[in-house]
Each structure stands twice: as structure tokens, then as C-alpha cells.
Amino acid sequence: MSKLTLVLLLAAAPAVAQAPSMESAPLVPPFSTARAGTTLPSGWMPIKINEQKKPTVYDLVDDQGTVVLHAVADGAASLVGHHVAFDLKAAPVLSWRWKIARLIPTADNTVAGKEDSPARIVLEFDGDKSKLSLADKSTLATGKLLSGRELPYATLMYIWSNTEPVGKVIRNPRTPRVQMVVASSGAGGVGTWQTVSRNAVEDFRRAFGEDPGRLTGVAVLTDTDNTGEKAEAWYGDIQFQSAAR
């Protein structure tokens, strides 16, 4: 993604419709409660990066009796997101299922010009922006000017990597305000459902060196705008749960 695309992507997630407070029930509506071929569950909305960027195509499909979110990106990038508002420390364990049809052969999340992924879970966080560097403040100011909205303080992405090991933290090559954690890796699991569970608070601490602020947005992203290739992914329900005692 270009720097402009990244700025607009960061601005996109807070643009989704406001949902009720998630303090008492920190869950996003499950895709499985919808019907295949119908609209997204309440609160979930497609999010364009900009008008010039070709959007990823998302739809609800039946997969062996369970409705899931299906994504196809052909030189494209856009999200499906949901606004939330709760303290992630109250339910730090993020769990989901995903499946991809293939890796993106030319993708490399450590290189700015190749930074695509067939599947991502995106978490947006609030925080104290006054302590950010001048460069980071400039990025946020540019994003606000372009989008008319405040950018998140920090963005944590879970990605499917070609070769990097699971658990590795990868800084976005264009801004430290976006950090990626490898949740699945390699071709071994391609074509089959992968169940993933991560302690998002611990991952945030490793990535940013501080505790997370309030979680403000959850999104999925399948993108190939940088490589120009084609990717296909399926996303199951996304849940937040308390840590095991």
C-alpha cells in the first residue's frame, strides 16, 4: 500500500456506523447468524479506502452449513468493519476462524512495495496522541484532513504471512502506528479452516510497548492493491473472551 492509501485505510475503520456500547458484551455480531446472500449483520459495513481504489468484494456464503464472510481481492483493497467501544483488558482473548485459497507469492509484509496479505483481522485503538512523534502526528493530521475523521492512535493487525513465523511482530514499513502480528503462516494450511486464538492485550504490549487503550474498531481486510495479484479468503465469527484462569 502507498503511504496515502495507508493513511486513508487508518481513517476508514472509525467511519463505520456507531454500534451500541460493547462494555457489557464485548462481541461483534457473528457472521453465522446471517443468511447467505443477504446483507451483513447489523453494524458491519463495507469501508472504502478511497474512491480511486478498487474495492475488495465481500459477500456472505454458506460453507458446509455455516454462513461465513467471503472476500475476493483482485488488485484491490477495502475492509468490512464494525465500531466497538470497550476495554480490551476485560476480554483480551481474540478468537476467529479463517481460510485462504492461496498465498500471495510476491507479497512481503516487511517491504513497503509488497505489503499485502490474503487475510487480516484489524483492531483499532484509542490512546494519548500528545505523546506521539512529530512524524506520527503529521500522519494523523494528514489523515484527518483527507478523511474528515480522527485516525486511531494505534492499529494492530493479525495477518497470514507467506514465510514469517507465527507470533512474530512486523512493523508496518511506512508507519510505527501500525503493527502486524503473524497469526498464520505458510502454505501448509491453505485451503482448510484455521482456528486462531490470540491474547490481543499481550500482543499489543509486545508490538507497542504499552497497554492498549480503548478498542474502537474491528475489521477484516483482504488486500492485493500493492502486488496486483488475486486473493480469496473466508472469515468465520470473531469473538472476544476473558483470559483462562
Residues 124-171 pLDDT 10s? 999 998 888 898 888 777 766 655 567 799 999 999 999 999 999 999
Q: What is the mean pLDDT of residues 114-118?
A: 97
**For residue 214, what pLDDT is reported?**
96
Q: How far apart are CA 105 and CA 114, in angstroms?
A: 10
Residue type, 225: D
Q: Which residues contact 65 (CB under 8 A, 6 or more apart)?
A: none
7 against 19, higher pLDDT: 7
Is pLDDT above 70 for 2? no
**Residue with C-alpha cell 498465498?**
103
| pTM for the full predicted model | 0.89
State residue 145's pLDDT score: 65
Q: What is the pLDDT of residues 201-244, one digit of tens each?
A: 999 999 999 999 999 999 999 999 999 999 999 999 999 999 87
Pick 186 or 136 by higher pLDDT. 186
Domains of the chain: 3-241 (2.60.120.260)
% of residues, the chain, pLDDT over 90 = 72
* In contact, 129 and 140? CB cutoff 8 Å: yes
- pLDDT tens readout for residues 30-73: 999 999 999 999 999 998 877 778 999 999 999 999 999 999 99
